[in-house]
Amino acid sequence: MLKLARWSTTHRKYVVLGWVVLLFAVNAIAQSAGTALFGLGTGLGAIALFTHVVNTPNFSSELAAMIGLGVGIDYALFILTRFREAYATPGPTFENSHESVVQSIDTAGRAVLFAGSTVVIALLGMMLLGVDFLYGVAISASIGVLLVMLASLTLLPALLTIAGKRVAAPGRRARARAKARA
């Protein structure tokens, strides 16, 4: 019980910090943080099940959560940035949520897929060191990254399709810059 309370306090700080980063970076907290937290939650659930099968260090879930939250925010930023560019660019994607999502997943989604796969393979590479202590850490962290990556490639596009116009609208800072230029 004490371990769970300590875990939630520690992770609350990381989640709040992640939301602050997302607020300043893309001004779309609900979609991107929701995706990262969904992937993180499912990842931590899978890791909890995994710890019953394989002996893992106590900090494995904390490490997986920190790495998962970091890559989840990163992947959401990739996809959201491409979505906004496609939504604002004249052409077939202009002010069309569905087509903008398709284009963003076609470009940034591939980058997320390859980056996430590379991170998962690199984390699993720790198993090649032959240190039994790292096996559980490597598998836990790769499960976390894998599920956050999958959430970014499936849940985020669905949320962007639904809330596309609200997400693509320029934020306060962008409106202020445009007003200052005019």
**Binning pLDDT at 50, 70 and 90, where does residue 134 land?**
confident
CA dist., res. 151 & res. 130, Å (int):
31
**Binning pLDDT at 50, 70 and 90, where does residue 2 land?**
very low
**Binning pLDDT at 50, 70 and 90, where does residue 1 land?**
very low
Coil, helix or strand at residue 68: helix
Tell me what pLDDT residue 6 has. 47
CATH fit for domain 2-174, picks 3.30.1490, 1.10.287, 1.20.1640, 1.10.10: 1.20.1640
* CA atoms lying within 13 Å on the CB side of residue 98: 0
Average pLDDT, the chain: 81
- To 5 degrees, how large is the angle CA 161–CA 162–CA 166? 95
More confident residue, 176 or 64: 64
Amino acid at 28: A
Rg of the chain over all Cα atoms, to the nearest angstrom: 18
Burial of 25 (0-12, 13-18, 19+ CB in 10 A): middle
Residue spans per domain, the chain: 2-174
Question: Model confidence over 74-113: pLDDT tens digits?
Answer: 898 899 889 989 998 888 888 888 999 999 999 999 999 9
- Mean pLDDT across the stretch 135-139? 89
